Amino acid sequence: MVRIRDAVEADLPSMMEIYNEAIRNSTVTFDTEEKTLEDKMRWFRKFGERYPLIVAELDGKVVGYCGLKSFREKDAYRSTTELSIYINKNYRGNKIGSLLMKEIIERAIRLGYHTIISGISGGNEASFKLHEKFGFECVGRFREVGFKFNDWRDVYFYQRILP
Condensed to tens digits (0 to 9), the pLDDT of residues 4-48 reads: 999 999 999 999 999 999 999 999 999 999 999 999 999 999 999
CB 109 within 8 A of CB 162: yes
Q: What is the pTM of this model?
A: 0.95
User: Which CATH number covers residue 147?
Assistant: 3.40.630.30
Residue 124 DSSP code: -
Total domain count, the chain:
1
Domain of 50, in residue numbers = 2-161
Q: In degrees to the nearest 10, what's the CA dihedral of 59, 60, 61, 66? A: 100
